């Protein structure tokens, strides 16, 4: 595809695609849908089966239009819709994204197998909750182990729940879970929480709240679903098993922003990419959407909202910088 600069001259620069979307979760598939529907050649790259974090969610009840839908089914529908409008979806491991050529007009997406070029890139690489790395965690993921209270809290009505962590996110999510649980036990490795005092006060004021101090989770127990957690007191060394119907883990979230590490793109203290309201990263032609960028909430609805904006902004960028004749 030849490049026609906005000054009307012709360049021999060619591109594999108009837009490359890096990441195949809800944000990536939505960006692929909007870009391809705008008649832009579009490639969506994900290192695994498209779907992202929603593949770890059994049922989704808070996505408009569906009373409930399995995460895997929603991902499949999103992929099918994007491909229907012409998006190409592949599995590959992306190592970096960079700008080259005069004025940085060529975006190069480097994978372990080959390089792809595009007029614009939308980074929707998401991120991953930091795991405890204890026995039972992976085996019981989505079977009582969760990393999202808003997503999964309603499935745990009248159960005793454990929340692991001591920062703002852990205490806020523990408070949120008291809406559904019969009791919420916060497990923290220290003798005081790191969360803001006002957030702590709100949690402790709830009659359903409890805390196990100076303790770490060493195992999550259960066969088909979570039945308990084995905890160890870090001071005494004593261990005990607590009967719970679910475990919510909030010890951190790691965005996959290192793909842009060598570009100088601005990131916050947590590693999230900082964008404008139009999802611009500060590097012309590179946009970011979804969990990889700094934002208030990590939800499917916010991810697709970001992606919609990013795709439209990328289209306008291409029109302004590389009009197609």
* The two structure tokens encoding residue 174: 């523990």
Distance (Å, whole) CA 17 – CA 33: 14
Positive/negative CA dihedral, 137, 270, 163, 74:
negative
Task: Determine how β-strand 11-14 pairs with β-strand 17-22.
Answer: unpaired
Q: At 230, which helix (H) or strand (E)?
A: strand 228-233
Asked if 284 and 277 count as a contact pair (C-beta separation under 8 A), the reply is no
Contact 172, 201 (CB under 8 A): no
Q: Which residues contact residue 196 at a Cβ distance below 8 angstroms, ignoring those fewer than 6 apart? A: 168
Residue 215 DSSP SS3: strand
152 is catalytic: yes
Q: What does the DSSP 8-state code read for residue 109?
A: E
Contact by Cβ (8 Å): 281, 265: yes
Structure tokens that stand for 42 in this block: 């579009």
Catalytic residue among 46, 152, 291, 306: 152
Catalytic annotation, pick one of 151, 214, 262, 291: 151
Residue 46, both tokens: 């994900």
Strand partners, 20: 43, 121
State both tokens at 94: 């992306």
Whether 151 is catalytic: yes
Q: Which residues are catalytic?
A: 148, 151-152
């Amino acid at each position: 595809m030849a490049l026609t600069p906005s000054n009307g001259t012709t360049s021999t620069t060619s591109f594999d695609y108009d837009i490359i979307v890096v990441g195949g979760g809800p944000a990536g598939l939505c960006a692929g849908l909007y870009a391809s529907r705008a008649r832009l050649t579009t490639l969506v790259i994900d290192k695994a089966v498209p779907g992202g974090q929603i593949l770890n969610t059994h049922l989704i009840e808070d996505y408009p239009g569906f009373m409930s839908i399995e995460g895997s089914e929603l991902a499949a529908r999103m992929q099918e819709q994007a491909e229907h409008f012409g998006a190409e979806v592949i599995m590959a491991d992306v190592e970096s994204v960079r700008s080259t050529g005069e004025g940085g007009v060529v975006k190069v997406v480097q994978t372990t197998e080959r390089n792809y070029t595009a007029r614009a890139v939308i980074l929707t690489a998401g991120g991953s909750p930091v795991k405890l790395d204890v026995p039972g965690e992976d085996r019981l993921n989505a079977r009582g182990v969760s990393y999202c209270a808003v997503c999964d809290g309603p499935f745990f009505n009248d159960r005793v729940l454990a929340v692991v962590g001591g920062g703002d996110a852990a205490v806020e999510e523990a408070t949120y879970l008291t809406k559904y649980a019969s009791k919420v036990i916060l497990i923290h490795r220290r003798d005081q929480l790191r969360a803001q005092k006002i957030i702590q006060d709100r949690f402790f004021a709830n009659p359903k709240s409890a805390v196990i101090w100076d303790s770490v989770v060493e195992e999550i127990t259960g066969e088909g679903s979570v039945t308990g957690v084995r905890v160890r007191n870090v001071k005494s060394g004593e261990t005990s098993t607590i009967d719970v119907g679910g475990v919510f883990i909030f010890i951190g979230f790691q965005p996959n922003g290192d793909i842009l590490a060598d570009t100088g793109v601005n990131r916050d203290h947590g590693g999230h990419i900082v964008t404008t309201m139009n999802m611009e990263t500060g590097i012309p032609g590179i946009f970011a959407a979804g969990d990889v960028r700094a934002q208030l909430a990590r939800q499917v609805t916010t991810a697709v909202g970001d992606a919609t904006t990013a795709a439209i902004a990328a289209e306008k960028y291409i029109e302004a910088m590389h009009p197609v004749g």
